[in-house]
A and B are shown apart, each in its own frame.
Chain A
């Protein structure tokens, strides 16, 4: 494809829907799908279709979010609603083809709810009942992520076109302000404010970094978006670059996500070939390029200053703030760091308007949030919901409650920086503020469901052990505090703890929160504090009985 003009973009939009006149099978081929055997399913489909000389289309797509049902296959027949099949095998795939080719009907076995039944998409009229609402994941499981044409077909790069042809950077910032969009990486800082501050800072050059170093073990929405809709993140970054006056952007992605890296690299290449990256993008007086940098397994690199050190090729140790990266970041220049999910929201805010976005969600938590609901839940996977929905609606109604059918004990949000929410608090709406009141955080979107067989003491030990391993060792409160609390916690877990240990743990935890240099140390005590807040009896049960 040569360089695109503004007219080309419009002409390429919505073509596939109009020309879709033969059966079309899509296979979910992100990491989850491939792990479950999607490759063999894909090959079986292609072979069977070829051997019967059928003129059908088989394409790859990203993760639809129903990870526990992978491999997923969507069968589309012109004029009919698509049918989704779960837990496919090569044998079932062959049968599916034969069945439709012979009988012109689709079998009932292995059907699962399709995307249209699960979720409302951006732009759809509102529906009732607890349902997903897909803004960030609008293309995941729908398009072939390795094909820029499919992205453009679904309105891709229209937001960039709109911005470059009709909006000043200030107008973009104003629209983001109206939308109320907040950073999806965890802290929930208003996006418009970050963009405005970085734009206003003076430097030789400005940088934008996409933080794809998804560190919370138990959250994987960023991987899924990078794999399922890479161009949406690229487009969001180009717009960010335009607004803050950057010419270079960096994707910082975990090395543990090889497929996400491959797809982003491919997307960048395609965008460059189409003239959407490089000089004079879409004919405008704006040039921008993107490079990819890989993480190397360090949770602390989720901290902005540590991430910057890592992009510079150094050890990822954090530095004191201020100065904030928006003033002095990468190579001491003004730098804006946005999370993957945040950037994936940008195009939709600009296309549908800030007011539309602000109408979704609740109070100061506007829009949607993607959660990775995992653990002892029946249907584990990714769900994107409008904020303000209650935890119970997500865990029980959308995800089917516990796999065992027994009661839920607690839900953990925010990963190693978050906290527990006991079952009797599940009617709390999911907003930044409500979760904070309960002693947890929104975090990046990990949501771990625990049932009665899970021990809060063990989970606390797990999270704290993680943070102690991942502490960079630069500041004493985090380095020493974490290790000492873990020592006491191990004693308690092994039945050797004493009453006063609980007091000491709390005291040290508060010291860590106040005195640590960066977010890792400041939030590492959260899981244990929230566990003690709601489940102190479980710790007490393991203490050495006091002498009479």
Chain B
């Protein structure tokens, strides 16, 4: 990562939130939106810019599920594990994704292409089961339709390579 670019981005985010009450979580969302996770050097820069102890930043990041400490990879595959999706076969989808990508839930593939995770309800229960891949939301997913989408992602990466 380019160090000065990181710093500039963090400074901007800190500037936006510094003088607002209770805005640490908002600033952290800003970091995660920018980098895909909260990099340690960015967290340190934020601590300095916002005048907040680094320990307090990590106290918050580690409490909430949403914040990531490691780079999640290019394709974040999230299998919804809300109740409706669970009843309609989400565990099977998770197992399939895990086998197809050869990573366990919560892990990132060695080449950094895929990250697999469970999420708590994306609020699309009427279309259960649901899987998201970055911004794309797949509805009424079956093992076959999931595999087709994963293949598409894999091929895209191969083409680029």
Contacts and interface: CB of A to CB of B under 8 A. Distances in A.
Contacts of B23: 293, 313
Interface string A213-244: 01111111001100000000000000000000
A133 interface: no
Contact of A297 (B120, B126, B130): B120
Given A313-B23, A331-B21, A35 B65 contact: no
B66 A374 contact: no
Interface stretch (B8-16, B76-84, B108-116): B76-84
A375 B83 contact: yes
Contacts of A462: 83, 86
Contacts of B124: 31-32, 35, 67, 220
Given A313-B22, A374-B83, A448-B87, A214 B123 contact: yes
A250 to B, nearest CB: 9
Contacts of B60: 313-315
B32 to A, nearest CB: 9
A256 B87 contact: no
Contacts of A494: none
B59 interface: yes
A448 B66 CA distance: 26
A357 interface: no
Contact of B122 (A31, A312, A376, A459): A31
B128 interface: yes
A380 B25 contact: no
A450 interface: yes
A322 B77 CA distance: 42
A382 B25 contact: no
Contacts of B138: 35
A218 B125 contact: yes
A257 interface: yes
A372 B122 CA distance: 13
Given A218-B121, A298-B65, A32 B126 contact: yes
A310 interface: yes
Nearest to A218: B83
Interface string A414-429: 0100000000000000
B59 A315 contact: yes
A472 B119 CA distance: 18
A35 B141 CA distance: 11
B123 to A, nearest CB: 4
Contacts, number: 142
Contacts of A311: 22
A70 B123 CA distance: 14
B130 A299 contact: no
A317 B60 CA distance: 11
B148 interface: no
B86 A294 contact: no
Contacts of A215: 120
B137 to A, nearest CB: 4
Q: Which 6 A-B pairs have the closest CB atoms?
A: A67-B126, A296-B64, A297-B65, A217-B82, A218-B83, A217-B121
A255 interface: yes
A329 to B, nearest CB: 12
A275 interface: no
A31 B123 CA distance: 8
B43 to A, nearest CB: 14
B67 to A, nearest CB: 6
A285 to B, nearest CB: 25
Nearest to B78: A256
Interface string A289-310: 0010111111100000000001
Contact of B120 (A31, A291, A299, A375): A299
A216 B77 CA distance: 22
A257 B120 CA distance: 11
A277 to B, nearest CB: 17
Interface in B1-60: 20-26, 28-29, 59-60
B83 A293 contact: no
Nearest to B24: A313
Given A293-B26, A298-B63, A316-B64, A412 B123 contact: no
A36 B64 contact: no
A21 interface: no
B125 A380 contact: yes
A256 B22 contact: no
A220 B121 contact: yes
Contacts of B83: 217-218, 374-375, 412, 415, 446, 448, 459, 462-463
